[in-house]
Amino acid sequence: MHLILFLLRPIYYLLYHQFAWTYDFVAALVSLGHWQAWVQSALPYLNGRVLEIGFGPGHLQLSLVENKFQAFGLDESRQMAHQARRRLHKKGDISRLSRGYAQNIPFAGGVFDSVVVTFPAGYIFDPRTLQEIKRVLVPAGRLIILPMAWITGTRPLERLAAWLFRVSGEAPGKPGPFSELLKDRFAHTGFDVRSEVVELQGSQVQVITAKKT
């Protein structure tokens, strides 16, 4: 498993940078068309002023604006920032997107009601990232993380996709209890955390809610 993840790492990097123009197609292909529904499932958990970390091609940013949130975004990829800005401007929306890293968020402290991250790399559990997110959240603000999803359909193609998710390390065989190690890490940083699995048509999404204490 570790070897597979090691071999896939440069592919993920290229997909998020030089080949960012293929990202939507690849995401839709590997998820059998579920990707957008997975990302949009974060919306009911958000409120007020929202910072999205790792906004990618900007689909959730557009949904946030359309749903009257005051949306901001942070992403280190120049290519993704270009796509997201173009998507927002095409709809007549003014983008509030910044380039940077989650370990050093370029915003003042205590300004966001919610921070959302969908299907991030391991950086999201870096203590430096969690400290920065806590810093920019208002008291009792919430961090919403969608770390993984499962395809649950029983058709042959759905079973194949579920198997690929398992062997690539994108998701375990089935939803399980939230790691005690991660719970301790959140608690040490100053978050009260809980995890739930949301049922969608033909799939499931894990949602982690971490409330600033």
**10-residue averages of pLDDT along the chain (213 residues):** 47 70 79 88 96 96 94 95 92 86 96 96 89 97 93 66 55 66 88 93 92 94
| pLDDT at res. 145 | 96
- How distant, in Å, are the alpha carbons of 12, 18, 40, 93, 123 from that of 23? 10, 10, 17, 22, 20
For residue 113, what is the enclosing H or E element?
Answer: strand 112-118
Give the type of residue at 116.
V
Nearest CA-CA partner of 42 in 209, 212, 211, 213: 209
HSE-CB of 180 using CA atoms within 13 angstroms: 0
Q: Is 2-212 assigned to CATH 3.40.50.620? A: no
Nearest CA-CA partner of 73 in 39, 43, 102: 102
- How distant, in Å, are the alpha carbons of 120, 134, 200 from that of 138? 22, 8, 31
- How distant, in Å, are the alpha carbons of 63, 86, 95, 96, 110 from that of 58? 9, 9, 10, 11, 24
Backbone angles phi, psi at 140, to 5 degrees: 70, 15
Domains of the chain, residue spans: 2-212
What spatial distance separates the first Cα and last Cα of the chain, rounded to whole Å? 36
Opening angle at CA 127, ends 124 and 129, nearest 5: 45
| pLDDT at res. 179 | 76
| pLDDT at res. 3 | 39
Residue in the block written with tokens 């975004």: 73
| pLDDT at res. 160 | 57
Q: Contacts by 42-47 with C-beta closer than 8 Å and gap 24+?
A: 42/116, 42/118, 42/144, 42/146, 42/207, 43/67, 45/114, 45/116, 45/142, 45/144, 45/207, 45/209, 46/113, 46/114, 46/116, 46/144, 47/113, 47/114, 47/142
Quick one: DSSP state of residue 31?
A: T
| pLDDT at res. 134 | 97
Provide the 3-class DSSP secondary structure of residue 38: helix
Provide the 3-class DSSP secondary structure of residue 57: coil
